[in-house]
Structure 1
């Protein structure tokens, strides 16, 4: 079972950022038009780095919440 609130499972920087703002993975799946599997990896795997096109989709969606968000907050570029 995936801990959506980070109460025991390790979370990536993106997962922690989303948890702090109360953003659910389902929201990101819909807004960024990415698969559930990719979203789970993005939120839970610290070393997972998405493709450039996926990264752009994620950042575009997150900017609806925080217009100043940057990809380098979550991934080594």
Structure 2
């Protein structure tokens, strides 16, 4: 482990200690409020970790229609539904 990576690890620990969170998309915030994890969603929707991460954290990401359909189907199987339009579908 180099000095740079040790410092980076310490920075993450400090952010975690003070409960500093990066900004989430409306959908990411909704998942948090509903008590759902990104991992649960990626497994149920059969989407990649990167896709679910972008949905939850990247405000400029616009999912394909097929992706939103997979999410809605997965959420329905968990007894949830996304209120309103969280996605700008392309």
How high is the TM-score relative to the length of structure 2? 0.68
Q: CA RMSD in A?
A: 2.3
Larger radius of gyration: 2
Distance 2:32 2:44 in 1: 16
Show structure 1 runs of 4+ deviating over 4 A.
none
Higher RCO (CA 8 Å, separation ≥ 6 residues): 1
Q: 1:58 to 1:71 in 2, by over 3 A?
A: farther
Q: Which runs of 5+ in 2 are unaligned?
A: 1-11
Pair 1:66-2:80 in alignment: yes
Paired positions, count: 72
Match of 2:34 among 14, 21, 26: 21
Q: TM-score, normalised by structure 1?
A: 0.78
